[in-house]
Amino acid sequence: MSTPPSNVEAEQGLLGAVLANNRAFDDAAWLRAEHFYDPVHATIWDVIAARVNAGRLADAVTLRDHFEAEGTLEEAGGAGYLARLLAAMVSPTLARDYAQAIFATWHRRRLIEIAAELGRAAFETADPVAAQEAAESELFAIAEDRDDHASPAHEAMSQALESAIASAARPDGLVGVTTGFRELDDALGGLRRGDMVVVGARPSMGKTALALGFAAAAAAAQHRVLFVSLEMRREKIGARLLAGLTPIESEAAGRGHVRGRDGTGRFTYEPIGQGDVDRMHAAARAMAERRFVIDECRQRTVAQVRAAARRMKRRGGLDLVLIDYLGLLRVPELARSDNRTLEVTRLSGEVKAMANDLGVPVVLLSQLNRANMQRDDKRPNLADLRDSGSIEQDADVVMFLHREEYYLARARPNRKPGEADDKFANRVSAFAEAERDARGVAEIIIDKNRDGPTGTRRIAWRADWSWFTDLAATEA
């Protein structure tokens, strides 16, 4: 059997360097005991880390005293071995390089172990997808383990400058991925890398339609998009896209018929015309030229969503992830818990971490609680986020979708007992005016925006297409 990859000399050199000069520990502090191949070295590193992190000296003398007091000196190689480590020391300036060499051999060992675990699972499990996702999560954990979290300030400034220069070269002036809505892009600067963007709304407001609009606009701008649907089947999403992008009536796109009524009031169904079919074919062909992937699955975890996103990024790149919706995500170990707020707190943290890790914006749809139904003004706010946990803290942008037209259609004025004719007429007139103003209009209420203004932006709602369009462009 082959010997696992190791670099014992690097382990000895690093340990000796840190024992000789504890300042060298700072360049290797991210290294953990498990990264060492030799268990004696792992034990010694654990004690060094504990002492240095506690502000105490960690040299050959203090470690010998520690191991003698614990009665484990021989297990740690004995006093003579500590002296040998000092003899093997390298310059403290090489501590980072030696730490990276140690990590690299651990990385190779973990790859071998993961491959063996995947092989065993493939033989033993009836669910190969679960085995694959477990292996991918392990591989991603290795990538997260690397010492690449710290960098000089000037590098961060250079990255920001490069982003600003790239944005200046774009005719749309955006830093991130377009939403397809001019006023919203102006407020956000586009959907930015690493941001978690929460879109909250009550049922029937059009959350999915808005997210599909974001996705379609991004794809049309040559961005690579992953739309994760936890609720709606792929075919229904396709019908929504056909209706919105053709555009034709959403019911006709899904059923292939246009519904009407005959003289007796009965429903009639007429097949869609060849012109509509041709336009839908053209829309589908246009989409075939773009990188827009729909991932349809039930009962997803954030780890599974992240695995799907990583696969797409690895195979052809990724610029935007949209998740429909938060309420259907689960944390397996909290599945039996009645504390949904705790679960949502975990989920929002994981989604934000995913956005950072992937380096892309993640749009997360969220259903709101019913608190706004008790208010005269139905416009939602941050307090309406269902089981909100830490969503508000984790999100970079929180915005709400609101259609006043929906509520007005369900709140037509009735005459109050004893109400005078003129007062009732005035209420009816005011209601009719409000209804006219709200017809075909939706509001996106930006309640939190780390990098720009808040406030309300208006977009157009086309009920016949079940689609949102850019009101600013239409009015212009």
Residue range 384-421, pLDDT digits in tens: 886 666 888 899 999 999 999 888 888 788 888 888 88
- Give yes or no for residue 8 having a pLDDT over 80: yes
- Give yes or no for residue 95 having a pLDDT over 60: yes
Percentage of the chain surpassing pLDDT 90?
37
Confidence of residue 1 (pLDDT cuts 50, 70, 90): low
Q: What is the pLDDT of residue 144?
A: 59
What value does the mean pLDDT take over residues 289-318? 84
Confidence of residue 172 (pLDDT cuts 50, 70, 90): confident
Q: What is the pLDDT of residue 323?
A: 95
Most confident residue range from 138-152, 197-211, 229-243:
197-211
- Which of the following CATH numbers is that of domain 171-258+270-403+440-475: 3.40.50.300, 3.40.190.10, 1.25.40.10, 1.10.150.120? 3.40.50.300
- Give yes or no for residue 148 having a pLDDT over 60: no
Q: What is the pLDDT of residue 253?
A: 73
Domain ranges of the chain: 8-144, 171-258+270-403+440-475
Confidence of residue 38 (pLDDT cuts 50, 70, 90): very high
pLDDT in tens, 311-368: 888 888 999 999 988 888 877 766 666 777 788 888 888 899 889 988 999 999 998 8
Q: Which residue has the higher pLDDT, 111 or 390?
A: 111
Q: What is the pLDDT of residue 222?
A: 93
Q: What is the pLDDT of residue 29?
A: 86
Q: What is the pLDDT of residue 128?
A: 75
Q: Across all residues in the chain, what is the average pLDDT?
A: 85
What value does the mean pLDDT take over residues 233-262? 80
Same fold across 8-144 and 171-258+270-403+440-475: no
What value does the mean pLDDT take over residues 63-72? 89
- Give yes or no for residue 6 having a pLDDT over 80: yes
Q: Which residue has the higher pLDDT, 305 or 159?
A: 305
Q: What is the pLDDT of residue 456?
A: 94
Confidence of residue 475 (pLDDT cuts 50, 70, 90): low
What value does the mean pLDDT take over residues 374-383? 83
CB 359 within 8 A of CB 157: no
Q: Which residue has the higher pLDDT, 131 or 175?
A: 175
What value does the mean pLDDT take over residues 203-213? 93
Give the CATH class of 8-144. Answer: mainly alpha
What value does the mean pLDDT take over residues 463-475? 80
